[in-house]
A = this chain, B = another copy of it.
Amino acid sequence: MKGISLLGGPVDLIPADFFENISHNRPDLLVGVDRGAWFLLEKGIVPNLAIGDFDSLKKKELTEIEAKVSDVRYSTPIKDLTDSELMLESCFQNYHLDNLTILGATGGRIDHFLVNLFTVLKPRFRSYAPRITIQDQQNILKFYLPGKHLIKPIADYKYVGVINLEAVTDLRIKDAKYELDNFTSTYPVSFASNEFKEVTEPFELSFSKGLIMIDYSRDINRFINI
C-alpha cells in the first residue's frame, strides 16, 4: 500500500507535474491535509482522507470537503495531535501504508516546515521514519534509523546532503565523493553538497545512534539570472 499526502505549503514548491500525475495514476491512498485537501479538490481530485483543523479554509471550502471526502478527521493540535502527527498515525496505524510520500511540507513558515521534519524524531512516530519521503521541486528527503544503509543515486539529483537531525554516534559515509569517519555529535549538523561517485554507484551510510535525513537535491537553475 502506497500513499501520497499533500500538505498546505506553498503550491509553487510542489513538483510541476504532480496534479497531472496524480489524476492519471492514483496511489492506494491519497490524503489532503488542511489546505492541501482543498488544493486537490480545486483540481477535481477527491482525496480518500482529509485531515486538519482546517482553520486555513473558508467555511464553504470545508463544507465541500466534508461533502465529497469519505473520511474527514479533525485535529486538535493544542490538546492532542498536530495535523502532521494525526496524518502519520492515520496513514500507518489505520490505513497500514508501506510507504508514504509527503508534498506541500516545505517552504513558507519555517516553524511549520520544521514540524514536518522533526515529527519523526518523536518516539511515537520514529518507527515510521524509514517509510516516509518528503518531496518538493528541488529536494527528496529520506530518513534512516541506526544501522548500515546503502544510499542509491536518484537520476537528475546531483547533490546528496547527510543531516543528523539530532545527536548522532559513529556516523560514517563511505564510497561517496566526500567521506566521513566515526563522526559523533550532541547537536544537528548538515553535511551539504556531497555527491555520488558515479550515477550508478551507491554509498554506504552507517551510524549507531540517532536519526539521519538524506537530502537528494538539485539546482533548478544554478546560474539563476542567465
Contacts and interface: CB of A to CB of B under 8 A. Distances in A.
Contact of A192 (B11, B111, B215, B220): B111
Interface stretch (A21-29, A64-72, A101-109, A145-153): A101-109
B193 A111 contact: yes
A186 interface: yes
Interface stretch (A44-52, A114-122, A197-205): A114-122
A22 B187 CA distance: 35
Interface residues of A, number: 54
A56 B11 CA distance: 27
Given A78-B178, A167-B167, A224-B35, A190 B108 contact: no
Given A58-B226, A111-B163, A166-B187, 10 more contacts: A10-B224, A56-B222, A109-B217, A110-B161, A111-B159, A112-B193, A114-B188, A121-B187, A166-B186, A187-B211
10 contacts: A35-B224, A38-B225, A78-B178, A108-B138, A109-B138, A109-B139, A109-B159, A111-B191, A112-B192, A114-B215
